[in-house]
Structure 1
Amino acid sequence: MKIAVVYHYFAHYREPVLSELIKKSKENGDEIKFIADNISNEPNLKLYNFDGYKENVQLVKNIWVKKFLWQKGLISYLFKYSPDTIVFLGQFNFLSTWIASIFFRVLGKRILFWGHGVYGSETGLKKLVRDCFNRLPHVYMTYGEYARNLMLKRSGNVNIRAIYNSLNVREQNILYKKLASSKENQRDDYVFDKNRTNLIFVGRLTSVKKINLIIEAINKLNSKNYNLLIVGSGPEEMALRKLVSNFGLEENVTFMGAIHDEIKLSWLIYNSDICVSPGNVGLTAMHALVYGTPVITNDDFSHQMPEFESIQDNINGSFFKVNDIDSLAEKIELWRRKIISNGRDDIRVFCREPILKKFNPENQAQLIYMEVMRDDTFYKKK
């Protein structure tokens, strides 16, 4: 079989699942090509450079008109390469994906989409257009069950499978075991406060992340019980620093700046008691859970990222009522008491379980490859 995977660009965090897909294609005697531009329109986003797999890459040129994308050279290359299956990123604002998926489906190619599917917040024309787009493939592969269940109600005859999402769990697991079995897991008194429950936020400091809610919740609680590490940089940093100053919480809140070194991040997350992400939690949920740290985020699932499904309420994290500071404060205090009562060891096991079983690149690649290969009758007809 010849397989094509079409993206706008491949972010560095996709490396583990892409490597697994290449591995599986070689094991099965198949050929796989990854087609994308090597330039991102997102500032500071590191891309995967496919070291060692250059023969699996084909570059096309992305032409952006605001949020809409046309991939120059995509259709002509796909026509020349003539894959059996084409996997497109399921972004309905990618105009070339509309044309290419319809064109190659008519030509008898098997079409798969890989993406968010729906969020549940769509209305009006946007909902209509997205639902039409989601009917184009033979199979739509979603990042989670929430989107899959919504699509089953809305998207007609398309087959919908959940393939979940993943980070570099193999590397993270190695770091976790080192932290769990050596002196490397010792808290630094300069960073952590051994007399307080240590909270952490990791991500870009933007308004959609609602980091101010963590600071306001600490202000409502007994601030002597809490220490907050904010790891990241972004346009909201000055406003957050001012808020900390206004509440007199300078001794409780430390701005760590942007950190991209996974060794440093693993140590910070592992030694934190609770990860709090009041906005859309995204990949931060899986990043915290793999190091055994419970996650608190909001309960507005129609505006959440699909990774919220890795959180099991009151088992490895909690959901607070969206934008409700009192509710957030209540969940933070609940977990502080839970940790004091039960310790961290059992909590770490519950946190890591969904990552090791479901949200990892080996499982994700296996599920994707199953969908690539699933419809044997499709190829027999050819």
Structure 2
Amino acid sequence: MQSSNVEYTLISGNTAEKEIKLISESYRNQPLNEGGLRWKLLKNIWLLNKKFLWQSGLVSEILKGDYDSFIFLGSPYFLSTWVGVILAKIKGKKVYYWMHGVYKDNPGLVDYIKLFGFYKIADGFFLYGNRSASILKKYKVREDKDIHVIYNSLAYEENLLLRQNLEHSDILDFRHKEFKDANTPIVVFIGRLNDVKRLDLLIQAQDILKKKHGKPFFNSIIIGDGQEASNLKQLAETLGLSDNIVFKGAIYDEATNAELLMHSDLCVTPGEIGLTAVHSLAYGTPTFSHDNLNIQMPEVESIRPGFNGDLFKHNDVASLAESIEKWLMLHPVKTTAIMSDCYQVIDQYYNPKFQAKIFNEVLSKI
């Protein structure tokens, strides 16, 4: 909004198809230099159990608005987007999609419709990851110069303020505070406790390593809430790990989350990882997830195996246990150097400054 060379306007509804915290409309009334938004409201009309969307007012805004280009969310399930894109093209405007894209090795029918139908009518793309960019290039959907990877980001400026370069003693003190055990590393998870995250695998891996070493090999902190919470607590109790796993519940205070993430030795998401990877690495904590890139979220690309984390075999608890064991045997206490390795990819790519730079460079040429 504060760009000096491109004037941005948000055009959207104020309802979502899933439970997620929505941006406050109060930003519409704040000055731009104080974080306000140039934002025009539409009416979202959800159809067929929220599978499809029609945005009432979008067509009118495209026809009457004085814009040089449009960035649409790249979803073919937004029916008004099809109409809006065609009208914008008729008016001679540039059209871009901001999207995950297709990231399967073997695209299915819906993927082919996207690749050779919906995507073909756009002039360019802003993508969350390199994998989807490579697939667009493979199928020659657009020229390479029209495909831009902008990654994803969280509250980067806040993360920077909360970062700390921890001393060895800081981590030991934190371990003792949480588990009365300064010698055992801590593995953390943050996110929704649902079946997609497969946290049962983490608990089972913890059990495997405890039995193998004859003592707790690591302790766990689980931050979040969801429908799997009671099942996970029951599993921990059944395996005799209740003293080795702390369920913190959902925490919305970022300073508290920062403390928990920073002082942990690893962050592990056995299922699809998404922004948890960015959140963890931003606070200097190596991150693990599975290696099936056909179903992973694009943020998994922030994990560089052996450098700032690792990828284990999908749905393979033995592989997960082996990966955790190997890392913690090499790094029984997280060091400042490890934290720096984690920061590197966030500071270079996964931050809003990088994203704004790409947007401005592309759009200012129109």
In the superposition, the TM-score normalised over structure 1's length comes to 0.86
Question: What CA deviation, in whole Å up to 9, does each residue of 1:262-299 have, x standing for no partner?
Answer: 10000000001100001111000010001110000000
Find out whether 1:272 has 2:254 as its counterpart. Answer: no
CA distance in 1, matches of 2:77, 2:303: 30
Selected match of 2:338 from 340, 347, 353 = 347
Structure 1, unmatched stretches of 5+, are: 1-21, 377-382
Contact map agreement 2:194 2:227 (CA 8 A) in 1:
yes
Question: What CA deviation, in whole Å up to 9, does each residue of 1:126-176 have, x standing for no partner?
Answer: 122221212121111111111100111125335211111111111101100
Instruction: Give the superposition deviation at 1:358.
Output: 1.2
The within-5 A match list for 1:101-116 is 101-116=85-100
Q: Which runs of 4+ in 1 moved over 3 A?
A: 51-55, 121-124, 183-186
The within-5 A match list for 1:239-318 is 239-318=231-310
Question: What CA deviation, in whole Å up to 9, does each residue of 1:167-197 have, x standing for no partner?
Answer: 11111011004x648x987516342442211
Match of 2:149 in 1: 162
Selected match of 1:36 from 3, 12, 15 = 12
Contact map agreement 1:276 1:297 (CA 8 A) in 2:
yes
Match of 1:64 in 2: 46
CA distance in 2, matches of 1:343, 1:252: 19
CA distance in 2, matches of 1:55, 1:311: 33
The within-5 A match list for 1:1-382 is 22-24=1-3, 27-28=4-5, 30-49=6-25, 50=27, 51-53=30-32, 56-65=38-47, 66-120=50-104, 123-131=107-115, 132-157=117-142, 159-177=146-164, 180=166, 187=174, 189-192=176-179, 193-222=181-210, 224-340=216-332, 343-374=334-365, 376=366
CA distance in 1, matches of 2:351, 2:37: 25
Instruction: Give the superposition deviation at 1:23.
Output: 1.7
CA distance in 2, matches of 1:55, 1:347: 38
Instruction: Give the superposition deviation at 1:46.
Output: 3.9
Structure 2, unmatched stretches of 5+, are: none
CA distance in 2, matches of 1:82, 1:255: 52
* SS of equivalent residue, structure 1 residue 141: strand
> Number of paired residues?
349
Instruction: Give the superposition deviation at 1:369.
Output: 1.6
Contact map agreement 1:278 1:296 (CA 8 A) in 2:
yes
Contact map agreement 1:134 1:155 (CA 8 A) in 2:
no
* SS of equivalent residue, structure 1 residue 297: strand
Code of the residue aligned with 2:112 in structure 1: it is: L
* SS of equivalent residue, structure 1 residue 189: helix
CA distance in 2, matches of 1:229, 1:55: 37
Quick check: 290-299 or 163-172, which moved more? 163-172
Contact map agreement 1:135 1:155 (CA 8 A) in 2:
no
* SS of equivalent residue, structure 1 residue 31: coil
Contact map agreement 1:195 1:225 (CA 8 A) in 2:
no
Question: What CA deviation, in whole Å up to 9, does each residue of 1:28-54 have, x standing for no partner?
Answer: 2x4321011122332242425435445
* SS of equivalent residue, structure 1 residue 161: strand
Quick check: 49-58 or 146-155, which moved more? 49-58
Contact map agreement 2:136 2:142 (CA 8 A) in 1:
no
Contact map agreement 2:73 2:99 (CA 8 A) in 1:
yes
CA distance in 1, matches of 2:40, 2:311: 42
* SS of equivalent residue, structure 1 residue 99: helix
CA distance in 2, matches of 1:252, 1:309: 30
CA distance in 1, matches of 2:127, 2:268: 25
In the superposition, relative to structure 1, how do residues 322 and 188 fare at CA in structure 2: closer, same or farther (>3 Å)?
closer
* SS of equivalent residue, structure 2 residue 356: helix
Instruction: Give the superposition deviation at 1:78.
Output: 2.2
Code of the residue aligned with 2:114 in structure 1: it is: R
* SS of equivalent residue, structure 1 residue 322: coil
* SS of equivalent residue, structure 1 residue 82: coil
Contact map agreement 1:121 1:303 (CA 8 A) in 2:
no
Code of the residue aligned with 1:151 in structure 2: it is: L
In the superposition, relative to structure 1, how do residues 140 and 55 fare at CA in structure 2: closer, same or farther (>3 Å)?
closer
In the superposition, relative to structure 1, how do residues 155 and 259 fare at CA in structure 2: closer, same or farther (>3 Å)?
farther
In the superposition, relative to structure 1, how do residues 57 and 293 fare at CA in structure 2: closer, same or farther (>3 Å)?
same
Question: What CA deviation, in whole Å up to 9, does each residue of 1:287-339 have, x standing for no partner?
Answer: 00011100000001111111111111110000000000010001111111121
